[in-house]
Amino acid sequence: MLLSWEHTVSKILDVFRLGSIKRKILVFSLLATLIPSLSMGWIFYRYADQFVTEKIAQDLGTATAQNVRQLGLWRKERIYEVRVFSSSYEVSETLDKITRGGLAQATDGVATRRLQEYLKSVREKFVDYEELMVLNTAGQVIATSAGRVSRPGLPPDWQKRAQAGSPIVSEAYRDDALNKMAVLVAVPISAQDGRFLGVLAVKLNFRTIKEILNSSLLGKTGQASVVAQDGTLIATSGTNSSALMKLELPFDLSQPVSEAEPVLEEYVDPDGRTVIGTLRRMPQMDWSIVAHIEKEEVYAQTARIRVLTMTICGGLLLAIGLTAYVLGLTIVRPLDRLTTGAAKVAAGDLEVQLSVAGHSEVRYLTEVFNDMVARLRTDRVELARINGTLIEKNEELQILSIADSLTGLYNRRHFMEVLPNEIARASRHKRALCVMMIDIDHFKEYNDASGHQAGDALLKKIGLIFKESLRSADYAARYGGDEFIVLLPETEATRAVEVAERLRERVVEETTAETRRLLVSLCIGVAAFPEHGLTLEAIVASADSALYQAKRNGRNQVVLAGNDVQPGMKMAS
């Protein structure tokens, strides 16, 4: 049944000469071409935005990683240089002489002037050195490359660290005498006989660090900085400043050093600009490298694409999208009924029967659909019958594949598949398990005297006793002939012996009462994991050996592997 709106739309299409399928397809093709094009433009913008973000993350990460490596190398080289100077003859031997001569010689002696000249010559050759000082073990400045004596600012535990041979690197600080940021590096000075004489302390400026930061700048607004753990700005590629400044950063400066790629964060820098930056910690130092670039520069191109894309899409998608929707309905609606019916069939409802109307291709499709559903209904009934039969047969086969046909116990093959898994589980969880090998005493004589049918009945009876006496978690199997094997998971050896003794007593009591003439008894060998073996073969062999020990001891008894007849296990009369 056609709805009123379908009549109205058909008349409108006739006015625009779009009543024929051919013209509808042409118009739809036009719209189907325009809409994906606009969509791809939008998708392109999104991917361009994502690409820019990933690219800036990669560039900032590379810049910070490069700075960390170079600053680590800078620190290593400075410590190495200071170690070389501290171990030189001019420093160690001169300081030793001064120390032996006392404080007067340290103030007025020739050795002190010689040491100062040496420190001055070293200072002039290295641009990173602001001042070199030699301190004795009490922390007194013996000689300095500067004309004045400044406070070295060593940490409280510098003597302990120096005596241990460790280099001493101070926190970055603003040096009032130099009017700039500096860091102090000190290494111990030792005499030839190993005595601790003092330290050589060097004030380092950040000239080389600034050059390193400047070498990794990104774009026009990129900037790299070194900050302390409390956010204090140590050095930056921007304008030099001798004042202490704390930055408000969105990063956790106390986070541990990680090799993972740093995370981008958006924040406002001290100049009030919105920037995108990242942080990377430095190993061996409480410093971090922060690199950022203005957000406006990063997304300038994508912002232009976004404005253009939104302008085009806003007009075209609104007009063309609505038109395509209306035209799509006139084409697709006749097929919706088939789609709905197919969805019901896919959900398992085979009672679908669609009405057939008209003389179009849809009529033929509907007739074919109805015929297909009718065939599916017939096939489902037949399939259900066949599946029911298969399930029953599979259950029978499953039982036959793992069970012994005479006793109803598990067969030997299934038992040997279960035992390795139980051994592995016991080993993994540090649990015990036991295996019992069981043999019927004089079963051949019983068969000869009573007949094979009686022997089979006896095996069935013993299998029933095992099923009734053991736990559901235990495994009892017919090992072959008149031999049985039992697995007792999570059971200690003493407990397994008790279980075996109860089985032996019950078999003797019940089977002998039924046969009335012949004594039916069992020999049982018990082996425990891990005491008597760590593998399937070792445990079974131990249980089998205990079984034969029981036979040698006179039969009708339980023997634990490695032991004789257990106390209290007397042979039944």
Active site residues: 482
Output the six-digit token pair for 571: 């042979």
3-state secondary structure 52-92: HHHHHHHHHHHHHHHHHHHHHHHHHHHHHHHHHHHCCHHHH
Cis omega before residue 530 (within 30°)? yes
CA quadruple 528, 530, 531, 536: dihedral, nearest 10: 60
Q: Measure CA 365 to chain center.
A: 52
252 burial via Cβ count (<10 Å: 0-12, 13-18, 19+):
exposed
> Do the bridges between strand 141-144 and strand 129-136 make them parallel or antiparallel, or are there none, so unpaired?
antiparallel
CA distances to 24, 162, 329, 382, 474 from 322, rounded to whole Å, are 15, 80, 11, 49, 71
Output the six-digit token pair for 455: 């022997």
Q: Measure CA 18 to chain center.
A: 60
> Which amino acid does the sequence have at 88?
S
C-beta separation of 148 from 116 below 8 A: no
Q: Rounded to an integer, what distance in angstroms lies between the CA atom of residue 55 and that of residue 63?
A: 12
CA distances to 129, 136, 156, 225, 559 from 79, rounded to whole Å, are 12, 19, 20, 22, 75
Output the six-digit token pair for 98: 């001064």
